[in-house]
Structure 1
Amino acid sequence: MSLTSTSPSRHTAVEARGDLRDLPWACMARLWSGIILFAFVLTHLLNHAVGIFGVGAMEYAQHWRWLLWQSWPGTVLLYGAALTHMVLASYRIALRRTWRMPKDEAWQIVSGLAIPLLVAGHVLNTRVASSWFDADISYHAILYNLFPAALFSQSMLLVVSWSHGVIGMHHALRYMHWYRNVRVGGLVLAVLIPVLALAGFVAGGREAIHRPAPAARTPEQIAGLDRASTLVYSGVAGFALGFVGLIGVFYIRRRVVHTVTVTYRGYGPVEVPCGTSLLEASRMYHIPHPSTCRGRGRCSTCRVQILSGAETLPQPFGAERAVLASIGAPGSVRLACQIRPEHDLSVRVLMPVLGRQLGGDQDAEAREWAIERDATVLVLDLRAFSTLTHNRLPYEIAVLVNRFSSEMTQAVESHGGRIDQMYGDGLMAVFDASDKRAGGARAALRAARDMTRVLELLNSEMRGALPIPVRAGIGIHTGSIVLARVGDGVSDNLIRAIGNTVAVAVALEAASKEFVADYVVSTETAEASGFDFSHLTKREMTLDSNGMSVSAYAIPDVTTLDAIMAGKLRLGMLNPAHS
């Protein structure tokens, strides 16, 4: 996420109280240093994975990896990123006002603190041994010495470092517009890569121990590594002691500084140490307050309305200002994770956690209530329903409606769709084929064809009982929707599709009357499906008073739709009146 420029007053306030973690350059440095370290771990694990093909393949891949990471630029970049990430992350942890947090955030902290301890020995026996003492660190030599004695410790290092990086990358990228399109593939790779790396490590290790033993390290090398080991582990211990001391200093400072009163609308006043963020205050007092980005200022779910005391807060800057601008928030709305009141404040949480039963991981529960994804929405409405039911007995109406509901549900579900809403004279269905727009669009068109066939069957069976034949208009549109739970608890609710895509599908169905067509299909659905609509006339529709328009194709009947999906539609096949 790009950061905008910051106001001088905000910089002064931040620097004055020492909140380095709030500065834009610190946030970006922590993020990019993490990305560099993740890239190193990724290339290292991929190098392990080729061990499936033998030690020779590992050493060949290692040669190319060393060109990147053992060059002077690569070395400076790698160790600079490691130092930057350790210092800034440790500082951020030390400044925490509460240890109540979601499970994945807790694992990131625990794994991040464990990595230096786990990796120190590995670095000593590879980079330090090679650069300082000219030791052999080829895969043959390393695997011969490590396998199988160090299999558990190396596997632990792999799992801890990889999971730490994957969680960090997920939270860094999840708000990118393209992320949901690659999320499934990314999850597969996140599981597959470490599994292959472990398999390659085992396969390579078994081969290495059956090869001739590599040259043993000289007494001078062993003595030098012992001295380096003492130095490295002393540095790690010193860093750990400094980290613990920093936590103690900040804890004492929080105990002696004055407190501020934050009054939550609906929850009452709470007292917190000066400098505590509103999100931390909510967690300290178990006030429901979602934040899907874990308080990093990348989402807007933790936003609050400042009811009083807004004048005592510094102006939004950096990530907060960018996020608030992206959602068009008024001046009284702020991000709870980014404001640290130094005077009394009164606020209202704008996005409370839904559901009566509040669990420990409030952020995970918030994500259970809504998800955005691409899907195809189909809206169907029966024509002249009042005429169909006029002077009919209640039982006759019930028979018609239930038969209609049953047949339509079967038509939708047989093509992988889901009935979102069913009402007396119509329905709305959602087709989502695992993030593949083509699959959802094609399924919706096939279901629409089957629905018309079912209505023809109903007309044939109930000809004597209906005053007029049953007909329907169908609108289909593909785009982004929000699938939101509507109800009073996760176990007692319905999932509903919400968003502009739904409104467009409804408008397309209404337009089918004007076009005298059984189906009106948006160009987005037509393009996503891959079917050939080129011989139909594209129509422009204005949807609202603001001039929003959509392009669509009017399909007159099921025969034409059949021809489109069969790929048999040719110029001149249609009646000119319908084209």
Structure 2
Amino acid sequence: MSLSSTTRPDEDTGHKRTHLRDVPWACGARQWSGIILFAFVLTHLLNHAVGVFGVEAMQHVQQWRWLIWQSLPGTLLLYGAALAHMGLTAYRVTLRRTWRMPRDEAWQIMSGLAIPLLVVNHVVQTRIAHTWFGVDTGYQAVLYKLWPGAVFSQSLLLVVAWSHGVIGMHHAMRYQNWYTARWRIAGLVLAVLIPCLALMGFIAGGREAALGPAPEALTAAQAGRLAMAGGTLYWGVAGFVAAFAGLIGVFYIRRRVGAIVTITYRGFGRVEVPRGTSVLEASRINHIPHPSSCRGRGRCATCRVQVLSGSEHVAEPFGGERMVLASLGAPENIRLACQLRPTQDLGVRILMPVLGRRFDVDQDEAAMEWALEREATILVLDLRAFTTLTHNRLPYEIAVLVNRFSSEMRQAVESHGGRVDQMYGDGLMAVFDTSDKKSTGARAALRAARDMSRVLELLNGEMRGALPIPIRAGIGIHTGRVVLARVSDGLGANELHAIGDTVAVAATLESASKEFLSDYVVSKEAAEASGFDFSRLTAREVTMDISGASISAYAIADAATLGEVMAGKAVLGILNMARA
């Protein structure tokens, strides 16, 4: 995309103006430069962690690390990424219209300003000293100088740099489909474990290095030149930070004395903000509940609004906003509030309400609490001929049957790690999502289905004289992506419910069990995910009612046949072990 496609009208001059934030590559460059810097910090800390095995082990690993970061391409990549990340991030921060933000975002800004100041002396004493005077930068020499006088400053640098990078990586990955709860938990463990191991290695290596030979000292002239370079670099960085803070102040004053636009929120009234303020920032400034899962980065659509008036003055969507809106199939009057910066009066309606009783600027975690997408297996069960079963029965008899059925079915689901999502008089829907592995949920659903049939047989035996016909049920099982959303009753209570195509497919499979004269219909996806042996069964096509598309599934006549399918996998496993 060319720069001309990302320009905006300037009402004062009538010309087009281009903001760096409007250029599609700017966001990607900022993100990838951060990933490069995080990779450098990660390898550095892992090298520190080897210190628990001694300084010699640290030095050995360092040789491999130097092959990457002290080579000419590595050096250019590292320092180029540092300059790009600092410049692009500083520019983005200076354009903020409000300083109301989540705590971790505030920490990222503060830590980002602190890192250059904390790292200056370390760079001067290692990279610059080695380049100018050939100073030994091996672990023995460096740790000898750092231990124990610089323990606090180096530990502080480690914690600040690492936490800054971890937060950035989390927000860069959180909207990837593969970044499930399992990966988030593993990432959290590593995020805590790696710096702890690095500090342990630093302490162990420092104590060992202090007992070794002292490195060759610099001459007075060399030390003077190095101190002068360090002072120049330090004050240069400090000047950058000061200029950055001053620039923020200048932009703030300019916005306060500049043109004002009025944004009219349906249901919240009119607010006045400086021209160029995004609709999301205007909401935060004026404490208007407005969800935003990605915190104004244009990566999600939770902040989207409908433009009710003034659309003729609104620029066309660009870059990431255009891709997000296109993925939703949104009409022209739908925009992302975080990217919509009105230059004329505007009327909007917030499309996604804030769930819950309390509005907090940190809507990221709230969004994850109220809705998430993951792999799950859905089981839908429906009693056959329920009208016939309850015909001419006394109300008490119907109540006994329904309550006994509900109790036994819920126990069968929960005993295999599932959760009853919906329970109605003659059926239920259950969700098996306790693990991020598809195989775990699929196997649990099939085992629960087998137990349900066994329970129905027991009920038939107990209530034989009270029922006109035996109790039978059809079960549909499908594995796929579902949205787990909390549905509130408005009084504080809320329940987690599964929503999506996977639920509809499971319900269709249950309906198909009547046509196939089978107790179970299991989709090919669920069968493959379970790992059980369905090879002796023939897949059949089931047509979806709404879309008309078909899905492959296996019809299983009864619990005995399902048991053979599940046992067949166990037999195959034993045979494979014997062959091995």
TM interval, short-chain normalised: over 0.9
Quote how far apart the aligned CAs of 1:13 are. 4.2
Give the whole-Å Cα distance in 2 for the aligned partners of 1:567 and 1:217. Answer: 75
Q: Measure the CA separation in 1 of the matches of 2:360 and 2:449.
A: 42
Structure 1: distance between partners of 2:148 and 2:429: 59
Map of 2:416 onto structure 1: 415
Paired residue type of 2:204 = A
| Residues 277 and 341 in structure 1, CA contact (< 8 A), matched pair in contact too | yes
2:230 counterpart residue number: 229
Question: What is the alpha-carbon distance in structure 2 between the residues aligned to residue 568 and residue 313 of structure 1?
Answer: 61
Separation in structure 1 between the aligned mates of residue 124 and residue 559 of structure 2, nearest angstrom: 72
The whole-number CA distance in structure 2 between the counterparts of 1:530 and 1:568 is 7
The question of 1:366 aligning with 2:362 is answered no
What does the per-residue CA deviation read over 1:45-101, in whole Å, with 9 as the maximum and x for residues that have no partner?
111122222211111111111111111111111111111111111111111111111
In the TM superposition, what is the alpha-carbon distance from 1:203 to its structure 2 partner?
2.2
Instruction: Give the total of aligned pairs.
Output: 567
What is the CA-CA distance between 1:538 and the residue it aligns to? 0.2
Give, in angstroms, the shift of residue 29 of structure 1: 1.7
Instruction: State the match for 1:551 in structure 2.
Output: 552
The one-character-per-residue Cα deviations of 1:141-173 (angstroms, maximum 9, x if unpaired) are: 112222333222222211211111111112222
One-letter code of the match for 2:154? Answer: Q
The answer to whether the 8 Å contact 2:356/2:492 transfers is no
**Letter of the structure 2 residue corresponding to residue 300 of structure 1:** A
Counterpart in the other structure of 2:575: none
Deviation at 1:555, TM superposition (A): 0.7
Q: Residue by residue, what CA displacement relative to the aligned partner does 1:509-547 show, whole Å, maximum 9, x if unpaired?
A: 111111111111011111111111011010111103432
Contact between 2:7 and 2:22, CA under 8 Å: does it hold in 1? Answer: no
8 Å CA contact 1:305–1:334 kept in 2: the answer is yes
8 Å Cα contact 2:523/2:553 also seen in 1: yes
Aligned to 1:577: none
SS of the residue 2:320 aligns to = helix
| Letter in structure 1 aligned against 2:312 | E
Q: Which residue of 2 aligns with 1:124?
A: 124
CA 120–16 in structure 1, closer or farther in 2 if over 3 Å, else same: farther
Contact 1:33–1:81 (CA under 8 A) maintained in structure 2: yes
Matched, 1:391 2:392: yes
Q: Distance in 1 between matches of 2:370 and 2:190?
A: 27
**Change in CA separation of 1:83 and 1:7 when aligned onto 2, cut-off 3 Å:** closer
1:171 maps to 171
Q: CA deviation at 1:433?
A: 3.3
1:37, distance to aligned residue in structure 2 (A): 0.7
1:50-199 alignment, distance < 5 Å? 50-180=50-180, 182-199=183-200
Match of 2:497 in 1: 496
How far has the Cα of 1:27 moved from its partner? 1.6
Q: Shift of the alpha carbon at 1:9?
A: 5.2
- Take 1:486 and 1:431, find their aligned partners in 2: how far apart are those partners? 18
Distance 1:490 1:431 in 2: 28
What residue identity is the alignment partner of 1:45?
L
Task: Give how far 1:570 is off.
Answer: 10
Using the alignment, how far apart are the partners of 2:147 and 2:457 within structure 1? 71
SS at 2:7's partner residue?
helix
Cα distance, 1:182 vs structure 2: 3.5
Name the counterpart of 1:23: 23
Conserved 8 A contact 1:51-1:200: yes
The equivalences for 1:519-534 within 5 A come to 519-534=520-535
d(CA) in 1 for partners of 2:295, 2:177: 19
Greater Cα offset, 59-68 or 360-369: 360-369
Helix, strand or coil at the partner of 1:567? helix
Opposite residue 46 of structure 2, the aligned amino acid is L
- Asked whether 1:8 is paired with 2:4, we answer yes
Q: Which amino acid aligns with 1:540?
A: E
Question: 2: distance between equivalents of 1:492 and 1:276?
Answer: 36
Contact 2:117/2:238 (CA < 8 Å) preserved in 1?
no
CA displacement at 1:199 relative to structure 2: 2.1
TM-superposition CA deviations, 1:282-313 (whole Å, max 9, x none):
11011111111111111111111111111101
Mapping of residues 173-572 of structure 1, within 5 Å:
173-180=173-180, 182-488=183-489, 491-567=492-568
Taking structure 1 as the reference length, the TM-score comes to: 0.94
Identity %: 71
Q: Aligned letter for 1:418?
A: R
| In 2, Cα distance between equivalents of 1:544 and 1:405 | 28
Query: For residues 63 and 429 of structure 1, what CA distance do their matches in structure 2 show?
Result: 55
Work out the CA distance in 2 between the residues paired with 1:446 and 1:425. Answer: 21
Moved more, 186-195 or 387-396: 186-195
Distance 1:562 1:219 in 2: 84
State the distance in 2 between where 1:107 and 1:512 align.
56
Q: 2 CA distance for matches of 1:6 and 1:510?
A: 53
User: Is 520-529 or 23-32 further displaced after alignment?
Assistant: 23-32
Larger displacement relative to structure 2 (418-427 or 383-392): 383-392
- Using the TM superposition, name which of 180-189 and 61-70 deviates more: 180-189
Q: What is the alpha-carbon distance in structure 2 between the residues aligned to residue 16 and residue 225 of structure 1?
A: 48
CA distance in 2, matches of 1:90, 1:555: 62
Deviation at 1:402, TM superposition (A): 1.2
Q: Which stretch of the first structure deviates more once superposed, 236-245 or 264-273?
A: 236-245
Provide closer, same or farther for how the CA distance between residues 490 and 243 of structure 1 changes in structure 2, counting only shifts above 3 A: farther
2:576 alignment counterpart? none
Secondary structure, aligned partner of 1:375:
strand
CA distance in 2, matches of 1:44, 1:568: 47
Tell me, in whole angstroms, the C-alpha distance in 2 between the residues paired with 1:509 and 1:21. Answer: 51
Shift of the alpha carbon at 1:220?
A: 3.4
User: Which segments of 5 or more consecutive residues in structure 2 lack a partner in the other structure?
Assistant: 573-580
Query: SS in structure 1 opposite 2:444?
Result: helix
Q: Could you tell me whether the CA contact under 8 Å between 1:135 and 1:221 is conserved in 2?
A: no
> Structure 1 counterpart of 2:268, which letter?
Y
Q: Tell me, what secondary structure is at the counterpart of 1:470?
A: coil
Where do 5+ consecutive residues of structure 1 fail to align?
A: 572-579
Q: State the SS of the aligned residue for 1:539.
A: strand
* Conserved? CA contact 1:7–1:315, under 8 Å: no
1:488–1:134 distance in 2 versus 1, CA, 3 Å: farther
Shift of 1:478: 0.4
- Give the conservation status (yes or no) of the 8 Å contact 2:508–2:545: no
Q: 1:35 to 1:489 in 2, by over 3 A?
A: farther
Is this contact kept in 2: 1:472–1:518, CA < 8 A? Answer: yes
Are the counterparts in 1 of residues 3 and 18 from structure 2 also a CA contact under 8 Å? Answer: no
Offset, 1:189: 2.4
Q: For residue 22 of structure 2, what is the amino acid of its counterpart?
A: D
CA contact (8 A) 2:6 2:23 kept: no
- In structure 2, how many angstroms separate the alpha carbons of the residues matched to 1:304 and 1:568? 52
SS of 2:466's equivalent in the other structure is: coil
Mark the CA change 1:244 to 1:357 in structure 2 (over 3 Å): closer, same or farther.
Answer: closer
Contact 1:378/1:444, CA 8 A, preserved across alignment: yes
Pair 568,237 (structure 1): closer, same or farther in 2 beyond 3 Å: closer
Measured in 2, the distance between the counterparts of 1:144 and 1:569 equals 60
Query: Shift of residue 565 of structure 1?
Result: 1.0
Distance 2:108 2:3 in 1: 32
Separation in 2, partners of 1:115, 1:488 = 47
| CA offset digits 1:3-59 (Å, max 9, x no partner) | xx2572532549955632232122222111111111111111111122222211111
